[in-house]
């Protein structure tokens, strides 16, 4: 294979990271089915202010891609009780590249509106540390892949200035990433039930139209949902 590579003048190229669509904190709960219990559990964890635990609690939502981790985080993030409990909130889509500078900058810009023309990590983290000082915050780190403890340790240093009861929600497909971040507790998100999956499918396929009006399509639709 090496000889053929040379004959064909092939050369190695860097492996491009495969990333999903960027996410945001907005959610339409009319498109959410079968997650009431999980939502309640996440919200209870966020509102817990038990001083026996770490000052800054990390709640992880772990599951396979597409199972609804981001949606569950969005539901909790936008809950009225959560809104009233925290002084400030921030949402960051992390994805595969764990860019500490970018993540820090996004958090700062979210809680202190305005474009920051700062690229130095130290200055950004000092700014974030000052902004969070004495405030109870909620930060969502969506779609985390990082398993490098040093990266996480560097990112979280400014968070220590926040008030007792501050929380970080992490969504990840990787159990190792959740464990590395010392999350308590970890919420493992399982697949929807067959009925909830069908309701979700119909909502997206037909919006608010009655599925019974399309009997010729239902059999095919249910096969899709089963897969």
Q: What is the pLDDT of residues 145-175, one digit of tens each?
A: 999 999 999 999 999 999 999 999 999 999 9
**pLDDT tens, 182-220?**
877 789 999 999 999 999 999 999 887 888 888 888 889
Tokens (6 digits) for 81: 């009780």
pLDDT surpassing 70 at residue 52: no
Compute φ and ψ for 120, nearest 5 degrees: -80, 125
Q: What is the distance between the alpha carbons of residues 74 and 71, in angstroms, rounded to a whole number?
A: 5
Domain 29-188 class in CATH? alpha beta
- pLDDT of the residue at 18: 52
Q: Which residues of 166-195 are buried (b: 16+ CB within 10 A; e: fewer)?
A: bbbbbbbbeeebbebbebeebbebeebeee
Q: What is the distance between the alpha carbons of residues 76 and 86, in angstroms, rounded to a whole number?
A: 12
Strands in 137-144's sheet, in edge-to-edge order, are 88-95, 137-144, 166-172, 56-62, 186-188
Residue spans per domain, the chain: 29-188, 194-226
Tokens (6 digits) for 147: 């398993």
C-alpha closest to that of 139 among 175, 99, 109: 109
At 11, the pLDDT band (50, 70, 90 cuts) reads confident
- pLDDT of the residue at 85: 96
């Amino acid at each position: 294979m090496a000889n053929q590579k040379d004959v064909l003048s092939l050369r190695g190229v860097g492996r491009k990271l495969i990333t999903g669509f960027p996410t945001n904190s907005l959610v339409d709960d009319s498109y959410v089915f079968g997650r009431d219990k999980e939502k309640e559990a996440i919200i209870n964890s966020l509102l817990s202010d038990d001083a026996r635990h770490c000052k800054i609690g990390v709640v992880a939502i772990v599951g396979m891609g597409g199972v609804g981790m981001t949606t569950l985080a969005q539901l909790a993030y936008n809950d009225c009780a959560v809104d009233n409990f925290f002084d400030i909130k921030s949402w960051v889509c992390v994805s595969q590249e764990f860019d500490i500078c970018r993540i820090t900058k996004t958090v700062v810009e979210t809680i202190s509106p305005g474009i920051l023309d700062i690229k130095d990590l130290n200055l950004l983290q000092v700014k974030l540390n000052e902004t969070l000082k004495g405030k109870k915050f909620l930060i969502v780190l969506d779609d985390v892949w990082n398993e490098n403890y040093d990266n996480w340790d560097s990112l979280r240093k400014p968070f220590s200035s926040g008030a007792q009861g501050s929380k970080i929600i992490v969504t990840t497909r990787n159990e190792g990433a959740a464990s590395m971040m010392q999350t308590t507790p970890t919420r493992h998100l399982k697949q929807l039930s067959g009925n909830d999956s069908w309701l979700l499918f119909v909502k997206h396929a037909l919006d608010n139209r009655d599925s019974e009006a399309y009997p010729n399509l239902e059999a095919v639709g249910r096969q899709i949902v089963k897969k």
